[in-house]
A and B are shown apart, each in its own frame.
Chain A
């Protein structure tokens, strides 16, 4: 069996960074990245992007050398993706922030609403219910990040954490400020509106959790395999019949429920922005399902049944 030679050039300057001779033909990109790190310790594997073309797509970690369209001397182009941080860390900081920030407003700590309101409590039941719902939502997310999600990509660029935290923390503070404000106005249709909203919220939270469990079962621990998710015996997962990303559908539903419950404009805006972002993600996921699986169920839409 013939060995391969691999040279790695800088994608921008074309400078030769590394030459590996006698690489096994079955070597994966992940293994090449590990070899490359030995000569350039500052670029740990997660930071590296290797491509066949300087401006082309990054090769996947599991791509095998002999299956790539290269001769026995392969030229790979390297790009530094910048400092990386693990998804778990990002998610934990993103979600712990809103949980904590919301509670600061709920307990009306000093310097927010004026001295005479410090540590007072709202006289509206819905404010307390909203706090329970908001906290529950983020505690659920934190626990899911720790115990349910399996991440196919280990890391993301460090700067994302600043961007994402500004978004989540900022919105949380903005919403919490109004919901816990001493001059808060309770919902127009009173208890009826709150009950309906609570029902929407609880159903969507259960649905979201069910989908996360179903997705977890789809991907065995430690693997990166991808399969088409199908409904299971749990009725909440039946939404998979109609959409590719029911977890997003349920997430948007939760926030709409929360917006109806609190009747607070910033919550509605947060729902809208979240919906827009999740639609973009869902469309991407939907597209990749269609590309990957020829027998993908044709009835499915990305996020909203029959519509979007």
Chain B
């Protein structure tokens, strides 16, 4: 659950392991996916790229129409929920082995975002108009457009350097931005969760179990403290490794 933090990184470097596998030039790749699998993955990644582009366009249009950036969430709520939930398929891809990433890590990353979308933003109506929601939505949108197009181009063996560079550079700003948005949103939801007793189970009940969603959300926020720096520096390290590697290659050519 701690992983909402990881989620923000997902597009940029959290999936560093995956990046290597997705790269066409990687000679360590044991066996590429079959043509049907590749076709499916290409379609999936194209659809996801398009989906997040729809969200981006939706945001811009709503902003232009309204002339204000407040409450833009409502204009893109449906595609945001749909495409972020669609990322659950990525867990399946890892589980059946057509994408060579860790199932556990991918699950944490995807689930934490799905959690934020459904269990926080969707469930606590009062926070939907907060600017913090927009903060992480923008961070996610840019991240995901780049990440899914990165996969698409990699699968097609034509990865433009610009996309690779963007994937391993923009996180420097987008990741802290996403994390701030997520934390502020959870924080804003806290009083409403407590007031309504949302998703909480109290004693006595015949299962002899209780759950305090309010405390759970606080625990999630605390879990960002150890996770955020760890991931951020992991990504910086990844960036150095992958981008400098490419530059060396260029010199040789």
Contact = CB atoms under 8 A, between A and B. Distances in A.
A184 B208 contact: yes
A183 interface: yes
A152 B205 CA distance: 46
A183 B204 CA distance: 5
**Centre residue among B206, B208, B209 by max chain A CB count within 10 A:** B208
Interface residues of B, number: 8
Contact of B206 (A181, A263, A266): A263
Contacts of A262: 208
A293 to B, nearest CB: 33
A181 B202 CA distance: 12
| B interface SS class | loop
B141 to A, nearest CB: 37
A8 interface: no
Contacts of B210: 178
Contacts of A184: 203-204, 208
Contacts of A277: none
Interface in A156-191: 178-179, 181, 183-185, 188
A264 B210 CA distance: 10
A181 B207 CA distance: 12
B206 A185 contact: yes
Contacts of A265: 207-209
A182 B209 CA distance: 13
Interface in B172-221: 203-210
Interface residues of A, number: 12
Contacts of B203: 178, 181, 183-185
Contacts of A183: 203-204
A262 B206 CA distance: 10
A106 B210 CA distance: 18
A290 B64 CA distance: 70
B207 A263 contact: yes
Contacts of A178: 203, 208-210
A178 B209 CA distance: 6
Nearest to B211: A265
A8 to B, nearest CB: 31
Nearest to A188: B206
A65 to B, nearest CB: 36
A179 B206 contact: no
Contacts of A263: 206-208
Contacts of B204: 183-185
B174 to A, nearest CB: 34
Contacts of B205: 185
A162 to B, nearest CB: 15
A178 B204 CA distance: 10
Nearest to B202: A183
A185 B203 CA distance: 9
A179 B210 CA distance: 12
**Centre residue among A178, A188, A262 by max chain B CB count within 10 A:** A178
A10 to B, nearest CB: 25
B219 to A, nearest CB: 14
Contacts of B208: 178-179, 181, 184-185, 262-266
Contacts of A264: 207-209
B209 to A, nearest CB: 4
A263 B207 CA distance: 6
A265 B205 CA distance: 11
A179 B204 CA distance: 11
A240 to B, nearest CB: 35
9 contacts: A178-B208, A178-B210, A183-B204, A184-B208, A185-B205, A185-B208, A262-B208, A263-B208, A266-B208
Interface of B: 203-210
Given A183-B203, A184-B204, A266-B208, 14 more contacts: A178-B210, A179-B208, A181-B203, A183-B204, A184-B208, A185-B203, A185-B206, A185-B208, A188-B206, A263-B206, A263-B207, A264-B209, A265-B207, A265-B209
Top 10 closest pairs, chain A to chain B, by CB: A265-B209, A183-B203, A264-B208, A183-B204, A265-B207, A178-B208, A185-B204, A185-B206, A185-B208, A184-B208
